[in-house]
Structure 1
Amino acid sequence: MSKQPLLGMTLTELQDITRNLGMPKFTAKQIATWIYEKKVSSINEMTNLSLKQREKLDAEFEIGASAPVESMHSVDGTIKYLFQVSEKDFVEAVYIPDDDRATLCVSSQVGCKMNCKFCMTGKQGFSANLSANQIINQIYSIPESEKLTNIVMMGMGEPLDNLDEVLKALEIMTSDYGFKWSPKRITVSSVGLKKGLRQFLEKSHCHLAISIHSPVPAQRADLMPAEKAFPITEIVELLRKYDFSKQRRLSFEYIVFNGVNDSLLYAKELIKLLRGLDCRVNLIRFHAIPNVDLDGADMETMTKFRDYLTSHGVFTTIRSSRGEDIFAACGMLSTAKKQEKNDEKL
């Protein structure tokens, strides 16, 4: 029988384990400290637990950390890590150093149900939700773990479609028994799943980024099928009910496609849609993926778009493009690895 991983368990879950094993309640906090603060590699290293307690714990549990199986290094310092989460499934995490910041882009699912036209992960289809263990492991097991200043859940998958495990992971990142990070160091990205969005806003204080990519519903539906079930106009109205001025930041992600959504007509529609909302817009360069007839806009066009929005009261930035020499688009490395595994079986 395989052992259960302790990494990714909340304090409440650890308390259930220690109670079932006949250990004092405070033992759960000791275990959490060994895992999340001291980052031990084995239960035997938990030396303030008695030998008998360690033996009981070791009989059914393990730390449950697993190193990435592959990495790709960019000339700009970006590193893409590949984690194996099942016999045939892989997910990516991307380490992005930038002056005094070090950000890790984390995945929440294997594949994705959203099937956005421009996303390589969506082309994989959906395979599985990641457990809190598999989400936290991406942060825990990279060599640069101690250098991290920020986490963005913008990797493979739709975080709000795996809300329970994502909320567990966020609790571990921000709690006193876990990584002790401020929620302001963490951003969760979503296409805007309405039910999950409400729960996230009520249960977490982390920053929120909504993928918008077009302010025109018909066009957004073509780019992002989720628009049909979760119209961006309804998502924006829901967001107006929450306070984003102090505890968290609200941003909208906007990939700028050449000749598709890059004219000032779209900037004007964005201004109308977001008017009065305390938010910012992040413009993103498109990384081409196979068999998709979309191209990224040039920097001059993006700059004009940014300047128009900013001059009309919508604070806008252009996100730096990173890792273009190492399968920059999310999902490309995992897709290639999955195909490699399939080819090995032929």
Structure 2
Amino acid sequence: MQKEALFGKTLDELQRICVELALPKFTAKQIADWLYKKKVSSIDEMSNLSKKARELLNEKYLFGLTDPTKVQESVDGTKKYLFPTAHGKYVETAMIPDKDRKTVCVSSQVGCKMGCLFCMTGKQGFQGQLTAGEIVNQIRNIPEWEEVTNIVYMGMGEPFDNLDEVLKSTQILTSEWGFAMSPRRITVSSIGIVPGLVRFLNESECHLAISLHTPFHEERQKLMPVEIAYPLDDVLSEIRNWDFGRQRRVSFEYIVFHGLNDTPAHVREMARILDGIKCRINLIRFHPIPNTPLKGTDETRLQEFKEGLEKKGITTTIRASRGQDIYAACGLLSTKALGAN
């Protein structure tokens, strides 16, 4: 019988395990401390558990950490880790240092079924869901894990297409019994699956990022097939109905493509559709991937686009390009690894 991983279990799940094994209820909190707060990697190292408790746990469970199989480091300090999954595939995790910040970009799926034209991960197709443990493992099992200040769910996969495990992972990251991170240090990005969006807004306190990329319906449909099922108008309607308060943030991700979505008409339409939503726009440079006709806009036009949005009163930033020398775009490194098998 294949043993189940303890890592990735919530406190409630650990309490149920303790009940099943006839262990005291307080043992669950002790196990959580070992899983999420201490530098151990085996059940035998849980020294404040009785010998009997450790034996019972070892019979049915593994600790559950998985080491990366490969790491590449960029000249700018960005690192990309390649983690194996239970499916015999790979997912990517990026660690991005910036002064006193260390941001980890985690994956939520193996491949992706959304088929966005600009995304290398989508070209892999969907290959499986990650468990909460596999998601959190991408943070806990890199050398920098104790220095991580921010987490973004912007790696491989669509988080709202694996929402149960994503929400469980954010619970582990933010709970007092877990990593005890502030939810304001975590951003979950989605292309806008409306049922998942509604549930995420109700069940999580983490920041929200929506992949927008163009304000026009037909244009967005060509870039992102999800626009057919969940039009941007419906996504924005749900966001307008939500009170984000003073601390929680909503942002829109916008990859800028040459001659496609970088015109004054796009600026005007963005200002129109986002009117009344307190948000920011993150402009992203596009770096070419294989088998796509898309090209990134030039720097002059990128700056003009930013200035145009700011003149409309929209807070706009240009995200710095990081790690281009190490296959930093999502899906490139794992696609290469899959091809080597």
Structure-2-length-normalised TM-score = 0.99
The residue aligned with 1:88 is 88
Q: Structure 1: which amino acid aligns with 2:223?
A: L
Structure 2 counterpart SS, 1:260: coil
The residue aligned with 2:48 is 48
Separation in 1 of the partners of 2:307 and 2:239? 25
1:86 to partner: Cα distance: 3.3
What is the correspondence of 1:156-305 to structure 2 with a 5 Å cutoff? Answer: 156-305=156-305
Q: 1:87–1:114: structure 2 CA closer, same or farther, 3 Å change rule?
A: closer
Deviation per CA, 1:247-288: give whole Å up to 9, x if none: 410000000000110111101110001001011000000021
Separation in 2 of the partners of 1:303 and 1:7? 45
Structure 1 counterpart SS, 2:325: coil
**Bigger shift: 9-18 or 86-95?**
86-95
The residue aligned with 1:344 is none
Separation in 2 of the partners of 1:87 and 1:339? 15
The residue aligned with 2:334 is 334
Q: Structure 2: which amino acid aligns with 1:310?
A: E
1:41 to partner: Cα distance: 1.1
Task: Check whether the contact 2:102–2:149 (CA below 8 A) recurs between aligned residues.
Answer: yes
What is the correspondence of 1:7-86 to structure 2 with a 5 Å cutoff? Answer: 7-86=7-86
1:39 to partner: Cα distance: 3.2
* Structure 1 unmatched ranges of 5 or more: 342-346
Could you list the structure 1 runs, at least 4 aligned residues long, displaced by more than 4 angstroms after superposition: none
Task: Check whether the contact 2:309–2:316 (CA below 8 A) recurs between aligned residues.
Answer: yes
The residue aligned with 1:104 is 104
1:87 to partner: Cα distance: 5.5
**Bigger shift: 251-260 or 291-300?**
291-300
Task: Check whether the contact 1:245–1:278 (CA below 8 A) recurs between aligned residues.
Answer: no
1:67 to partner: Cα distance: 0.7
Task: Check whether the contact 1:288–1:329 (CA below 8 A) recurs between aligned residues.
Answer: no
Separation in 2 of the partners of 1:41 and 1:330? 28
Q: Structure 2: which amino acid aligns with 1:48?
A: N
**Bigger shift: 117-126 or 305-314?**
305-314
Task: Check whether the contact 2:77–2:97 (CA below 8 A) recurs between aligned residues.
Answer: yes
**Bigger shift: 39-48 or 149-158?**
39-48
Separation in 2 of the partners of 1:195 and 1:263? 32
Q: Report % sequence identity.
A: 56
1:197 to partner: Cα distance: 0.5
* Structure 2 unmatched ranges of 5 or more: none
RMSD: 0.8
Deviation per CA, 1:290-339: give whole Å up to 9, x if none: 01011101121111111111121111000000011111210000001011
Structure 2 counterpart SS, 1:94: strand
Structure 1 counterpart SS, 2:171: helix
Task: Check whether the contact 1:82–1:334 (CA below 8 A) recurs between aligned residues.
Answer: yes
Structure 2 counterpart SS, 1:95: strand
Structure 2 counterpart SS, 1:156: coil
Q: Structure 2: which amino acid aligns with 1:181?
A: M
**Bigger shift: 291-300 or 8-17?**
291-300
Separation in 2 of the partners of 1:245 and 1:268? 27
Q: Structure 2: which amino acid aligns with 1:319?
A: R
